[in-house]
Structure 1
């Protein structure tokens, strides 16, 4: 069939779908899916990446004009269809790695904690609505890419998404939209968006910073320049959230990058320490109504975290094996907190979240998975030192270091960042493993 006839057929099909939709409404979506199947099957990895970006960066909540399109739901269905079809076609070439096993074991324990949860309805709502999607997408990211060029696109999409969210955060800050405590920027707070919490917004913005740091030193002059501009926007938007966890994540990323670029340890320590102090001054944390300079001794924000961490530890002591259940911390805060001020508090710590919601056993399994990811990431960093994928390997390592540090103040245990990193680490390790290493690992 000639190119002209293909275009004519596509135009006629589009017009037919529009006419049927105009007459019958949403029933035409079923027909539309049939026409989209070839693209979904051939570009399953890109579709999965689109779903991850919309789910993690909450693009549809940041720009409410996209809400009626139901893009996350459509991408979720397309991702599952494409993943199932591709895995069926490639079932003989799928590589199972030890990190997959550790992920499955931890996920199984999270499911056990849901069964034993104090509020099973809330636990399973989070498990079915969020965590199981994250779990499936790790396998999608690690198995679907067949070429390194596909992985090279991921940092671009993450950095671009971060630029969109960071730019909107700076716009809200400049116009006084959705500010918390008078100074801390948020996005979509009026519609109940996840980005409506300054700490969660800082977490979302922190993820692409690691890749922006790595790619600022790679590529041609224009690519480096654009990446540096994006990095500045991301840093300024994180500063606008006045999140201490966000500042620690930035400082740890800069410190890890300085270690990679310098043979000395002292210089990166001094440089990152000075940088952290400068970031704190620029962020204006002393101006916060909670945790600011106006409070004597240990500020209200810090004490709130200490009380929350004490509550988390008490939950783990009372339920050492399974904890109180996934997403059950808030519902149990009153019963385990040593201090009650009339409202529940978020845990604001990855480690305390895991220990409270999955118990000591869950924390051990989580740490084993995390250590396994760090080992593979460090191995990639060394193996790809002179490889074209070196910037991606550096970005993944910086992301892992930033996660471990910022996790002390940000709740990321069952959220997207770590699991996206794990999926990319597994995919990069699989696609860059030389035949000799692969043969050795199989034996």
Structure 2
């Protein structure tokens, strides 16, 4: 009996090899980490693997939170765990697993993807013609290639209703964590720049302008919760609390770009509530004056009232913009290359070293111009325009269903929040170098996911047919509640056919 049994066991050489490899991998942790306590976390690995395969979007969402809000830097205790790296690897793994093997992830391609791919491809092409290709390629492999992959991963994996609700909630919570640390630092005098401007030292948010930009995005989502009816009392309360914390934190940074972004974000919501544009402009102007006074901009050492004429902060920006313009002018097609603005600064600056020091561009638009050329800037602006029109179209289609059973307040909230966040980025990004970092690309991927969800569950043709049915029914029966009946109450059978 022994002979046949052994033959059956070793009949499949591939199975034997795989089993042997698994045994070796199982024994390695015990050899490398002989202490029994160190082996306890390894027991969670199989459960974690099952979880990320069943809930792949959650892994991507955690990556968004840590990449955008730099939570592992804000809370240094999390840094040894290497959450961004692990979630990035997990995202790549589950994306490949569900695309190639299970085919649960349905890949799709929209015109917004094309707009992004054109700019992304142009940046890659510019590496070969940059002033120092090895440095440009290093910047590409360290950050920008991850951006390219994650734009596809987020847009392809964010497909279900609960995905949008969870993303909206966790983005606000992550922003609240950063806002809390900002206000704590401000109250205790930690990480102060120029004695009055708060930062989070030792992180990527060590610049108050960058900090204000990161806070402005969850602020738009918090306002969306606060003003959108039907999301629930808890979410409304979370939105109100978040709005107060985010505005207070942005005021503490004393960032002029952050204050302008705050007014721009509130202006988007004001357009949906206040019909009179003149009244809205008046309220916005008055609100900006209040924010400037509350922030104490005049007390700033740079850009405050104590400096006469053009302040040092503004002059530094002007010098950087001049250098960026000449970089683009002399390299109109591909610019000087990814992340090479500072390396080329003094070759294109119009002022001497005695008149000032080298500055980053302090403008997303001038940064893209300098590092990708005029052609690259055109592709980037077209990407912004495509996302703007896409999210605006999604919002209009959602508003069209308001009052009907198909109306979804949660989807409306994240859509208008993303729309306001895009506007806030365009305003604050005019004073920050964020052309090749995460904010705009996360907004892009969420916008694409919303547009795809709308096309899947709210197709435009069906909406047009539904509107035609409703109008026809109102004309044929003008006395029924003065035409105020809900569409589905009047024509249930026809609307069922449309849906």
Q: Same fold (TM over 0.5)?
A: yes
Q: What are the within-5 Å matches in structure 2 for residues 70-219 of structure 1?
A: 70-88=82-100, 89-90=102-103, 93-187=106-200, 189=201, 191=202, 193-218=203-228, 219=231
State how far apart, in whole Å, the 1-side matches of 2:115 and 2:237 are: 39
> Gaps (5+ residues) in structure 2?
1-26, 464-499
Deviation per residue, 1:385-414 (Å, 9 max, x gap): 123111111111111211222221122211
Displacement of 1:92 = 8.0
Q: What are the within-5 Å matches in structure 2 for residues 225-304 of structure 1?
A: 225-304=237-316
Q: Specify whether residues 234 and 296 from structure 1 end up closer, same or farther in structure 2 by C-alpha distance, changes over 3 A only.
A: same
Tell me the secondary structure at the aligned position of residue 294 of structure 1.
coil
State how far apart, in whole Å, the 1-side matches of 2:31 and 2:344 are: 51
Deviation per residue, 1:360-401 (Å, 9 max, x gap): 000110111111101111101100112311111111111121
State how far apart, in whole Å, the 2-side matches of 1:105 and 1:157 are: 31
Displacement of 1:22 = 4.2
After superposition, the CA RMSD in angstroms is 2.4
Relative to structure 2, which stretch is displaced further, 87-96 or 341-350?
A: 87-96
Displacement of 1:421 = 1.3
Displacement of 1:93 = 3.4
Deviation per residue, 1:53-73 (Å, 9 max, x gap): 111111111111111111111
Q: Specify whether residues 408 and 361 from structure 1 end up closer, same or farther in structure 2 by C-alpha distance, changes over 3 A only.
A: same
Q: Specify whether residues 71 and 196 from structure 1 end up closer, same or farther in structure 2 by C-alpha distance, changes over 3 A only.
A: same
Tell me the secondary structure at the aligned position of residue 194 of structure 1.
coil
Relative to structure 2, which stretch is displaced further, 175-184 or 124-133?
A: 124-133
Tell me the secondary structure at the aligned position of residue 216 of structure 1.
helix
TM-score scaled by length of structure 2: 0.80
Q: Specify whether residues 241 and 59 from structure 1 end up closer, same or farther in structure 2 by C-alpha distance, changes over 3 A only.
A: same
Q: Which residue of 1 aligns with 2:427?
A: 405
Tell me the secondary structure at the aligned position of residue 407 of structure 1.
helix
Instruction: Tell me, yes or no, if structure 1 residue 426 matches structure 2 residue 448.
Output: yes
State how far apart, in whole Å, the 1-side matches of 2:188 and 2:227 are: 34
Larger radius of gyration: 2
Q: Specify whether residues 395 and 32 from structure 1 end up closer, same or farther in structure 2 by C-alpha distance, changes over 3 A only.
A: same
Deviation per residue, 1:214-260 (Å, 9 max, x gap): 11113233321221111111111111111111111101011111011
Displacement of 1:122 = 2.6
Instruction: Tell me, yes or no, if structure 1 residue 57 matches structure 2 residue 69.
Output: yes
Deviation per residue, 1:23-59 (Å, 9 max, x gap): 1799998886455221111111110110111111111
State how far apart, in whole Å, the 2-side matches of 1:175 and 1:29 are: 37
Q: Which residue of 2 aligns with 1:355?
A: 369
- In the alignment, which of 46, 69, 76 is matched to residue 58 of structure 2? 46
Relative to structure 2, which stretch is displaced further, 386-395 or 23-32?
A: 23-32
State how far apart, in whole Å, the 2-side matches of 1:425 and 1:315 are: 32
Q: Specify whether residues 81 and 438 from structure 1 end up closer, same or farther in structure 2 by C-alpha distance, changes over 3 A only.
A: farther
* 1:47–1:79 contact (8 Å) kept in structure 2: yes
Instruction: Tell me, yes or no, if structure 1 residue 372 matches structure 2 residue 365.
Output: no
TM-score scaled by length of structure 1: 0.90
Q: Which residue of 1 aligns with 2:413?
A: 391
Q: Specify whether residues 275 and 59 from structure 1 end up closer, same or farther in structure 2 by C-alpha distance, changes over 3 A only.
A: same
Displacement of 1:112 = 1.4
State how far apart, in whole Å, the 2-side matches of 1:141 and 1:74 are: 16
> Gaps (5+ residues) in structure 1?
1-15
Instruction: Tell me, yes or no, if structure 1 residue 381 matches structure 2 residue 403.
Output: no
Q: Which residue of 2 aligns with 1:10?
A: none
Deviation per residue, 1:190-222 (Å, 9 max, x gap): x3x211111111111111111111111132333
State how far apart, in whole Å, the 2-side matches of 1:237 and 1:92 are: 39
* 1:148–1:428 contact (8 Å) kept in structure 2: no
Displacement of 1:20 = 7.0
* 2:98–2:105 contact (8 Å) kept in structure 1: no
Displacement of 1:116 = 1.6
